[in-house]
Amino acid sequence: MSGVEVVLLVAVLLLALVVVGAVLFGVRVLRGFRAAPAPEDPAFIAEKDRQEQSLAALRSAADEANSTIDVAKSAAAAARTEAAAAKAEAKSARAEARRVLDDARAEADTILERAHRQAEADAEQLRTAARRSGEREVAVLAATTREQAAEVERRAARMDERERLHTEEVERLAERERQLTAASADLARREAGLVERETALAAAEEQRRRELERVAGLTADAARAELIEAIETQAKREAALLVRDIESDARTTADQRARHIVVDAIQRVASEQTAESVVSVLHLPGDEMKGRIIGREGRNIRAFESVTGVNLIIDDTPEAVLLSCFDPVRREVGRLTLEKLVLDGRIHPHRIEEVHDLARHEVEELCHRAAEDALVEVGITEIHPELVTLLGRLRYRTSYGQNVLKHLVETAHIAGIMAAELRLDIPTIKRCAFLHDIGKALTHEVEGSHAIIGADLARKYGESEDVVHAIEAHHNEVPPQTIEAVLTQASDACSGGRPGARRESLEAYVKRLERIEEIAAGKLGVEKVFAMQAGREVRVMVKPEDVDDIGAAVLARDVAKQIEEELTYPGQIRVTVVRESRVTEIAR
């Protein structure tokens, strides 16, 4: 019985109880009517009306209960119908479930059978693979065993060979020991003979000394004292002659030696230098400043390069940019312009033009001040203002790493010292030496040699013919005809050729190293050659079977002598010949 049927049954029972109660109540009321008093009593009439109303209400309630019972019956019938339908559906569902279950069991049996067959096939494949792997491993083990057996045989053969060699070595050592014993006995005999001879020689020497003393009439001590006195007298006489010759030579060569000392001092004058370069580096406060320098779509960097004439290189270098230009003055103006822009923070094309004008005036002022300081240091007072401007531009010019303006000052000092030694016109010679490289201020703008350019400038701005000729002749473009020109050449060579004044070109340096290695490699028995310490040391590796120790010493001397004869170099070069013998044995 379903839950709906139970609910309907309970509702029917409750309604039946209500109907039975109402019927019993109506029977009780009817009985009261039969035993009631006379109809004339008003209370009785009222009570009767009330009971009739109650009976009417009970009848209506009974009718409603009957109708409800009918509805409940119809609902119960419908519920029984639905229950019957549900039972039929449940029965068909159970039948379908049994059918599905039977199909599932049949499918499961099929799958299990297929899985059993697949498992048997996989197991057979695994057994086959395991059998093959085992066969391969057995083959590898067999090969390894054979190799180890062969290795053992080889080691046994080596041990036998080593034992044989050891036996031969023992035999050789025994033979050598016998030879040494015989040699020792021979040496003992010779030593005994030498002792006897020394004794005989001592006796003969004593006999000879006594005979000499008898013939000379002097004892050995007296003869020694007389000989020492004679040698001492002769040494004193030779020493006096030597002192006199030294004093005479000092008097005759004093002036010449003094001049040599002055020249040596001039050659060792130290001067400030700068490394020659075509780039300048400007450090930035941060990498974000690079973006502001470039500007939107590169307008700032284009404006900067157009205004200054300096190429701006912005690469991966952290917090730094490079300025490249062959004109050192223009490069310095560009560097100062960019530095001011970075400090100010406002970078745009109009601001770049303003700052460039300020930087150009500032650099011109620095150049003018540097030229005036150089003129004051040299002692030149009267000079054309245009020459002063050109001299100031040399503050940023270098030649082989040497600052040109400092070179001019140094050359003027050296020329003045030489003129004083020769008792010549010091101011004129210093003026020639100071202006001899003035043409280098325009070599970026005018074609031709800086000597000819400088002579044209000096002639244009009213310098004397002696000064003009010294300028144009200091590199032999024009043969020197005056003492001023010769002294200008000499002072220029002293300033540029002194140790440390100029850096050597990379090409000449590489060629010198290659020639040093070629000289050493051309000798017999040389295996390898290494030029070390910037060419100041050469290490020659020789073959020990071709060159012995004496040959190594001769080889070192020959290489050093050939280097001295063929090459020009600063300082000295050490030649080291390495002869090495190596014996290698492997312990197994």
CA quadruple 171, 174, 179, 182: dihedral positive or negative? Answer: negative
* pLDDT score of 503 more than 60: no
Structure tokens at 405: 């303006």
At 273, the pLDDT band (50, 70, 90 cuts) reads very low
280-502 against 508-579: fold identical: no
Task: Identify the residue with better confidence: 327 or 157.
Answer: 157
Q: Residue 424: CA atoms inside 13 Å, Cβ hemisphere, count?
A: 19
* pLDDT score of 573 more than 70: yes
* Average pLDDT, rounded, for the chain: 79
At 251, the pLDDT band (50, 70, 90 cuts) reads low
pLDDT in the model for residue 443:
65
Architecture of the domain defined by 280-502: Orthogonal Bundle (1.10)
* pLDDT score of 39 more than 60: no
The residues spanned by each domain of the chain are 280-502, 508-579
454 with 438: CB under 8 angstroms? yes
pLDDT in the model for residue 540:
92
For 279, 333, 498, 522, the CA distances from 568, given in Å and listed in that order, are 32, 40, 15, 19
Model confidence pLDDT, tens digit, residues 375-420: 888 888 888 888 888 888 888 777 766 778 888 888 888 888 888 8
pLDDT in the model for residue 275:
41
Model confidence pLDDT, tens digit, residues 534-550: 677 889 999 888 888 88
Alpha-carbon distance of 50 to 36, in angstroms, equals: 14
DSSP structural state of residue 464 = -
Alpha-carbon distance of 432 to 425, in angstroms, equals: 11
Structure tokens at 202: 């001592």
pLDDT in the model for residue 36:
46
At 276, the pLDDT band (50, 70, 90 cuts) reads very low
Task: Identify the residue with better confidence: 459 or 15.
Answer: 459
At 426, the pLDDT band (50, 70, 90 cuts) reads confident
Average pLDDT over residues 160-168: 88
At 260, the pLDDT band (50, 70, 90 cuts) reads low
* pLDDT score of 149 more than 80: yes
Average pLDDT over residues 58-65: 72
Model confidence pLDDT, tens digit, residues 185-230: 888 888 888 888 888 888 888 887 777 767 766 666 776 777 777 7
* pLDDT score of 574 more than 80: yes
363 with 333: CB under 8 angstroms? yes
Alpha-carbon distance of 469 to 456, in angstroms, equals: 10
* pLDDT score of 466 more than 50: yes
Question: What residues are paired with 320 via a beta bridge?
Answer: 283
- The three-state secondary structure class of 75 is helix
286 with 414: CB under 8 angstroms? no
At 373, the pLDDT band (50, 70, 90 cuts) reads confident
* pLDDT score of 445 more than 80: no
Alpha-carbon distance of 485 to 464, in angstroms, equals: 13
CA quadruple 162, 168, 174, 175: dihedral positive or negative? Answer: negative
Q: How much of the chain exceeds pLDDT 70, in percent? A: 82
**H or E stretch covering 152:** helix 42-216
DSSP structural state of residue 156 = H
Could you tell me which of 402, 280, 405 has the C-alpha nearest to residue 332?
A: 280
Task: Identify the residue with better confidence: 27 or 110.
Answer: 110
Average pLDDT over residues 68-91: 76
DSSP structural state of residue 548 = -
CA quadruple 441, 447, 448, 453: dihedral positive or negative? Answer: negative
Alpha-carbon distance of 326 to 205, in angstroms, equals: 90
Could you tell me which of 3, 22, 13, 1 has the C-alpha nearest to residue 72?
A: 13
- The three-state secondary structure class of 280 is strand
Could you tell me which of 152, 585, 174 has the C-alpha nearest to residue 160?
A: 152
CA quadruple 22, 28, 34, 38: dihedral positive or negative? Answer: negative
Residue-wise DSSP of 469-519: HHHHHTTSSS---SHHHHHHHHHHHHHHHSTTSSPPPHHHHHHHHHHHHHH
Structure tokens at 358: 């300020």
pLDDT in the model for residue 265:
43
* pLDDT score of 331 more than 70: yes
DSSP structural state of residue 144 = H
* pLDDT score of 318 more than 80: no
Task: Identify the residue with better confidence: 352 or 270.
Answer: 352
At 7, the pLDDT band (50, 70, 90 cuts) reads low
- How many CB atoms lie under 10 A from the CB of residue 513? 15
CATH code of the region 508-579: 3.30.70.1350
How many degrees, rounded to 5, is the angle at CA 396 between CA 456 and CA 269? 90
Range list of H helices, 379-464: 385-393, 404-422, 426-434, 450-460
Model confidence pLDDT, tens digit, residues 88-121: 887 888 888 888 888 888 888 888 888 888 888 8
Alpha-carbon distance of 309 to 322, in angstroms, equals: 14
